[in-house]
C-alpha cells in the first residue's frame, strides 16, 4: 500500500515533488497541512492545488497532464457572440467575490454535493482580502448570471471554479477574464483537470513537468495587485 506524504503544519512552503504524485487517482500528491494564505500561494507557485470533500482531510493535487488555457485562445461561439449583442450583460472584476464563490459552491444537477466547503470559502476570502484571489462577475442588470474565481500568483492565474445562472454565463466570465489577463501579460490560465466542456472552449493539455516549470517561472514575475475593482472588463 502506497503511503501518501503528510504535510507538516509549520513548514508552509514545503511540498513533495509533483512528479511523485500518484497516477491513480491521477495527481494525488499529499495530505494534511492547512489552508493558510502562505501555504496556498506556495502550492500554486509549484503547480499544486487543494481539492477535497468535507468529510476528507485536506488533499493536494498535481495531475498529469495539466489542463490550461492560453489566455489568447479561448473559443467563444458565434451563437454566444450573437446572444451578447442583443443582451444587457456587463462584466466586472472583484465586486462580488464571496457571491461568486458561494454560487460555485451551490449544488448542481447530477452532483450530490460540493467540494467548496466552509473552510475553503474562508481561506479564499482571506486570499481575496489580501489581493491574491479574484473574481469576474457577469451581470444582467442587477442579477448575477455567471462568474469565475481563482488565484493570481505573479503572472500565473489559477482558475478554481465557475458557474452559470443563465446559458453562457460561465463562458462569458472565462473569456472576459482571459482577455483581461492577456492584456496584462499573463500567458496561461490553469484549469487544473480536463473535461469536455473546457476542451470545447479551447483548453489544451500539457505535460505536468512542462506546466510546473512554467508555473514556477510565471509566479516569480511581478503580478497585478488586487483588488481589480477599477479595471475595465469588456464582454468577449
**Domain annotation for the chain: domains and CATH numbers:** 6-63 (3.30.70.3550), 67-219 (3.40.630.70)
Classify 148 as helix, strand or coil.
strand
Q: Which three cell numbers, joined as nine digits, stand for 12?
A: 508552509
CA dihedral 121, 126, 130, 134 (to 10 degrees): 10
Q: Which three cell numbers, joined as nine digits, stand for 174?
A: 472565462
pTM as predicted: 0.94
CA distance 185 to 207: 22
Across 202-223, average pLDDT: 98
Across 210-229, average pLDDT: 96
CA distance 5 to 199: 32
Per residue in 189-201, pLDDT (tens digit) is: 999 999 999 999 9
Q: Mean pLDDT lowest for which of 18-27, 102-111, 164-173?
A: 102-111
Given this model, what pLDDT does residue 86 score? Answer: 83
Per residue in 59-101, pLDDT (tens digit) is: 999 999 999 999 999 999 999 898 888 889 999 999 999 999 9
Amino acid at each position: 500500500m502506497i503511503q501518501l506524504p503528510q504535510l507538516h503544519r509549520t513548514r508552509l512552503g514545503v511540498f513533495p515533488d509533483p512528479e511523485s504524485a500518484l497516477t491513480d487517482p491521477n495527481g494525488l500528491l499529499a495530505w494534511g497541512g492547512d489552508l493558510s494564505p502562505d501555504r496556498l500561494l506556495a502550492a500554486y507557485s509549484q503547480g499544486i492545488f487543494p481539492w477535497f470533500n468535507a468529510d476528507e482531510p485536506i488533499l493536494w493535487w498535481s495531475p498529469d497532464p495539466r489542463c490550461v488555457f492560453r489566455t489568447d485562445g479561448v473559443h467563444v461561439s458565434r451563437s454566444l457572440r450573437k446572444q451578447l449583442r442583443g443582451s444587457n450583460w456587463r462584466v466586472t472584476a472583484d465586486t462580488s467575490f464571496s457571491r461568486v464563490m458561494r454560487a460555485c459552491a451551490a449544488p448542481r444537477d447530477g452532483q450530490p454535493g460540493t467540494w467548496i466547503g466552509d473552510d475553503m470559502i474562508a481561506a479564499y476570502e482571506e486570499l481575496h482580502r489580501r489581493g491574491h484571489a479574484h473574481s469576474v462577475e457577469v451581470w444582467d442588470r442587477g442579477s448575477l448570471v455567471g462568474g469565475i474565481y481563482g488565484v493570481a500568483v505573479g503572472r500565473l492565474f489559477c482558475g478554481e471554479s465557475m458557474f452559470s445562472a443563465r446559458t453562457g454565463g460561465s463562458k462569458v466570465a472565462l473569456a472576459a477574464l482571459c482577455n483581461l489577463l492577456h492584456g496584462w501579460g499573463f500567458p496561461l490560465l490553469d484549469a487544473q483537470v480536463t473535461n469536455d466542456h473546457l476542451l470545447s472552449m479551447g483548453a489544451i493539455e500539457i505535460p505536468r513537468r512542462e506546466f510546473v516549470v512554467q508555473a514556477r517561472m510565471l509566479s516569480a514575475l511581478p503580478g497585478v495587485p488586487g483588488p481589480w475593482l477599477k479595471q475595465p472588463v469588456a464582454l468577449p
